[in-house]
Amino acid sequence: MSPADRRPTAGFRTVARAVAWRSIHNFFTNKALLIPALIFPLFFFASFAGGLSAVGNVPGFDFPSGYTAFQYVFVLLQSAAFGGVFTGFGIARDFETGFGRRYMLAATDRRGIIAGYGLAALVRAFVTWALLTAIALVAGMQIDGSGIDLVGMYTLAILVNITATLWASGVAMRIRSIQGGPLMQLPIFLILFLAPVYVPLSLLSGWIHAVASVNPVTALLEAGRGFISGDPTVIGLAFALGIVLPIVFALWSRGGLRRAEAAG
């Protein structure tokens, strides 16, 4: 029996702790959840930073910290975003198995349900980032930014994780089925890969340059890459987006929670 079941009138903090504990426990004890979450970003890092390392030699590519660091920032933000998506899968699965409804019945402040899933998503992200960073350093990644710069970079990754979790939770609570998985994942995938993934924005051309120029992920990537290279750029824009997007998607997630409440 979960903590939420033992407390039929559980408040915000109690529900958040119960949901977070169960989600984290399931993540670390279920290989079907743990292994893909760890392997997925490492696969992309090996593919991009290793298999495409020659891209760093093209004319006009002048990123000072090298191609490994250039791609590390993308994979960091990508893993942050997809960590939120995978959390959305877990929410949908909980509703399919009946656990989501049990949380709803137990909570007096149901926002704690979203907060609990959000805390679990952050813990999952921290574990993934620790492994990713260790492997990147072993692979010879060059870091030219200061400690404060790195705090800024990881803060952006945290904000991306929160945004993606709120997006995915809003979808999951509206559909309440794992069949909503593609809707959670596809928009995130598209917006990530329509940014300057392989080369800087200045080396893109045609329609992809036009799209990347207005893509909010571009500012986040450029700021993160500036932090790791010790040459911060577009910080104001990146953090403005990093703050506004979670607020917008918090409203989206709250709307999903109301749909779930109305559905019983």
- Note if the pTM is more than 0.75: yes
- Please give the average per-residue pLDDT across 29-40, as a whole number: 81
**Across the strands, what pairs with 107?**
10
Mean pLDDT of 7-22: 78
Question: What is residue 10's predicted lDDT score, i.e. its pLDDT?
Answer: 67
- Residue 225's contacts (CB-CB under 8 Å, 6 or more residues apart) are 63, 69, 70, 73
- The reported pLDDT for the residue numbered 5 is 46
pLDDT tier at 262, thresholds 50, 70, 90: confident
pLDDT band at 139 (very low <50, low <70, confident <90, very high): confident
pLDDT at 119: 95
Q: Tens digit of pLDDT for each residue in 119-133? A: 999 999 999 999 999
The predicted pLDDT at position 4 comes to 44
Predicted confidence at residue 13, as pLDDT, reads: 80
In the predicted model, is pLDDT for residue 7 greater than 50? no
Let me know: does 115 contact 24? Beta carbons within 8 Å: no
Q: How confident is the model at residue 203 (pLDDT cuts 50, 70, 90)?
A: confident
Higher pLDDT, 7 or 75: 75
Q: Quote the distance between the C-alpha of residue 247 and its chain's center.
A: 15
Average pLDDT score over the chain: 87
* pLDDT of the residue at 197: 86
Distances (CA, A) of 9 to 13, 18, 99, 210: 12, 13, 16, 52
pLDDT (tens digit, 9 = 90+) per residue, 65-115? 888 899 999 999 999 999 999 999 999 999 988 888 888 888 788 888 999
Burial pattern 17-50, b for ≥16 Cβ within 10 A else e, equals bbbbbbbbebbeeeeebbeebbebbbebbeebbe
What digits encode the pLDDT tens for the residues 214-246?
A: 999 999 999 999 999 999 889 999 999 999 999
pLDDT in tens, 143-162: 999 999 999 999 999 999 99
What confidence category does residue 198 fall into, taking pLDDT thresholds of 50, 70 and 90? confident
Q: How many Å apart are CA 150 and CA 155, to the nearest integer?
A: 8
